[in-house]
Structure 1
Amino acid sequence: MSRSLPKRRRIYLMRHGSVDYFREDGSAVPPDTVPLNALGRDQADAAGRLFAQCGVQFDSVLVSGLPRTVETATRVLAAGAQPELHLLHEPALEEIRPGRLADIPKHEIEAAFLGAFRVGPNVQSQRFLGGESVGELLDRVLPAFDALLARSDWQCLLMVMHGGVNRALLSRVLAGERAFFGRLEQAPACINVIDVGANDQIVRAVNLAPTQWLHERETMTTMEKLLAQFLRQA
């Protein structure tokens, strides 16, 4: 008896391109308004050209709705010759929400920046910059992801999201319901590849950075860089 091979759909899960969360005077830019910087625009364009070179054609595009995801997706589509696609917004997939930096005691600053993305037995209770906890992030992100997987109106989906959100989604596919791999680094404008079947999901690639394939210029995580920027201005 012949057995039919599994049929799977494809998700290209990106992180938004590079942004500047601090102005030249050291003041913080509100994270819900921050745009791509020049490097981030170049990264998004490079991702779009890569998709075009590889013949990737999206039939749906989903963003969190925050400006940095909208701008990244728009540039990816323009560089990939698919500017006509409409962007769908899903606010439940917005980045893990920070608190106010001014409210964090100085001796807790390092933990506030880095704690949510470290390994530990109580990772779900860790709060990001004094704001939302990892557990609270999972509470809103995972149901939205399940709803997306249940839809039948896409075959090749581009998702442009955030570092924390991407970790949550990749961890779910790799290890189950409430897993969270904080050490799973997500470079600006990186591409992750997930195949979705009727009863399974497969991760094919993680953290592919079109402008820096081997991460040869990287020695720090995104949050370590942000902490260093903050401490220089403090």
Structure 2
Amino acid sequence: MTPRRRLYLMRHGAVRYFEGGRPLPPESVPLTEAGQAQARAAGRLLAAQGVRPDRVICSGLPRTRQTAALVLGELPGPQAEIEDWPALQEIHGGRLRDIPEDRLEACFTALQRGPLTEHSQFLGGETLGALWDRILPAQLQLRADPDWDCALWVLHGVVNAALLSHWVSGGQRLMLPGWQQNPACINVIDLGADDALLRAVNLNPVDWLQPDERRSTMEQLLADLRQC
């Protein structure tokens, strides 16, 4: 049997998507102070467990690259170079101003409810089918590379949910609803040649049991928008 390899799949730390009553360009938002603290906490957790990634991947967007750098900054010794993989960027939303007020909640929460199909859209923008078309070849390319044993991928909420759904469904182009990915959370997966073992999901390094958290990420973002 080919030995499985370990993947630590993270979401980026917290960011602010709205300011001054308007949405900010999601391609350029940086981590907030809280997001930076979350990333450092994740790095300290990995360091305490002796984790030393030999392959580090981010989507290339500032929030993922900054998170990856802060995580690595907490690990001892020389670190692997951070690689940018734009194919793994977050699913692209449409223009919020084009969504009627009475449709906002349904659009913001569509991907956490089922059923989901290839034609399901994110905020009136990119479809899940288009997302699959770019992220599945990228993850296959990474899995096919034999020159790593322990990898850290710092990506995005919907991308992570899509990858986790793909792996736990036996490799289907299938998005399971209901995944939650907190800022700077860690998922632990062992990848085999033709299977994947899911060991942990949405480990929050600064709030392990999340006793006061009830909203999903998208519900919180909708609340942030309405407070602008």
TM-score in same-fold range (> 0.5):
yes
- Number of the residue aligned with 2:33: 38
C-alpha distance in 2, partners of 1:75/1:34?
16
For the Cα contact (< 8 Å) 1:50–1:80, is it kept in 2? Answer: no
For the Cα contact (< 8 Å) 1:16–1:188, is it kept in 2? Answer: yes
For the Cα contact (< 8 Å) 2:54–2:79, is it kept in 1? Answer: no
- 2:86 counterpart letter in structure 1: P
For the Cα contact (< 8 Å) 1:116–1:134, is it kept in 2? Answer: no
Match of 1:135 among 106, 125, 129: 129
Question: How much has 1:143 moved relative to structure 2?
Answer: 1.3
C-alpha distance in 1, partners of 2:201/2:177?
14
- 1:17 counterpart letter in structure 2: G
* Residue ranges of structure 2 left out of the alignment (5+ in a row): none
Q: Deviations over 1:152-211 (max 9, x none)?
A: 121100000000000011111100321112311111100001111223211111110110
Give me the TM-score of the superposition, normalised by structure 2: 0.95
C-alpha distance in 2, partners of 1:119/1:147?
29
Match of 1:105 among 100, 104, 108: 100
SS at match of 2:56: strand
Give me the TM-score of the superposition, normalised by structure 1: 0.93
Question: How much has 1:65 moved relative to structure 2?
Answer: 0.3
For 1:106-125, list aligned pairs within 5 A.
106-120=101-115, 122-125=116-119
Name the Cα RMSD after superposition: 1.3
Question: How much has 1:82 moved relative to structure 2?
Answer: 5.0
- Number of the residue aligned with 1:19: 15
Match of 1:67 among 52, 62, 65: 62
- Number of the residue aligned with 2:150: 156
* Residue ranges of structure 1 left out of the alignment (5+ in a row): none
Which sits farther off after the overlay, 141-150 or 109-118?
109-118
SS at match of 2:190: strand
Question: How much has 1:126 moved relative to structure 2?
Answer: 1.8
- Number of the residue aligned with 2:189: 194
C-alpha distance in 1, partners of 2:128/2:77?
35
- 2:15 counterpart letter in structure 1: V
C-alpha distance in 2, partners of 1:82/1:196?
26
SS at match of 1:195: strand
Question: How much has 1:88 moved relative to structure 2?
Answer: 0.7
Aligned pairs, number? 227
Task: List structure 1 runs of 4+ shifted beyond 4 angstroms.
Answer: none
SS at match of 2:118: helix
C-alpha distance in 2, partners of 1:19/1:83?
28
For the Cα contact (< 8 Å) 1:74–1:83, is it kept in 2? Answer: no
For the Cα contact (< 8 Å) 2:168–2:198, is it kept in 1? Answer: yes
SS at match of 1:52: helix
SS at match of 2:15: coil
Question: How much has 1:83 moved relative to structure 2?
Answer: 6.0
- Number of the residue aligned with 1:10: 6
Match of 2:175 among 169, 172, 180: 180
- 1:85 counterpart letter in structure 2: A
> Percent identical across equivalent pairs?
50
Question: How much has 1:116 moved relative to structure 2?
Answer: 2.2
C-alpha distance in 1, partners of 2:143/2:177?
23
C-alpha distance in 2, partners of 1:192/1:123?
24
